[in-house]
């Protein structure tokens, strides 16, 4: 009984490995060319500083509101630290978004 259970586990393991290899080849040969075409068409031009500043502004506002609400002080408490945090997050995201994208 024990011998048949271990042979069943071995068969399931071999089938799983073969299945993973088939899925990997499928992804490599089918999905990669399609995604490469999408990337070269839409992401290649990149995001300039002007677009990155708009994206960074709204992401920074959302993060500051989320941090203020999660911190327990609400939106009004510790405003002087929130202004500093906003500008730090804004400039960091602005430069990173423009640099990466």
Q: Indicate the domain borders of the chain.
A: 1-45, 46-101
Three-state DSSP string of the chain: CHHHHHHHHHHHHHHHHHHHHHHHHHHHHHHHHHHHHHHHHHHCCCCCHHHHHHHHHHHHHHHHHHHHHHHCCCCCCCHHHHHHHHHHHHHHHHHHHHHHC
Per-residue model confidence as pLDDT tens for the chain (101 residues): 566 778 888 899 999 999 999 998 888 888 777 777 766 776 666 778 888 888 899 999 998 888 888 877 666 667 788 888 889 999 999 988 888 87
pLDDT score for 21: 93
Model pTM?
Answer: 0.51
């Amino acid at each position: 009984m024990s011998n048949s259970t271990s042979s069943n586990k071995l068969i399931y393991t071999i089938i799983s490995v073969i299945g993973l290899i088939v899925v990997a080849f499928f992804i490599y040969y089918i999905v990669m060319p399609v995604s490469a075409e999408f990337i070269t068409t839409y992401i290649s031009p990149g995001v300039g500083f002007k677009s990155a500043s708009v994206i960074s502004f709204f992401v920074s506002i959302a993060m500051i509101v989320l941090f203020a609400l999660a911190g327990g002080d609400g939106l009004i408490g510790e405003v002087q630290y929130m202004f500093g945090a906003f500008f730090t997050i804004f400039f960091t995201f602005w430069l990173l978004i423009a640099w990466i994208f």
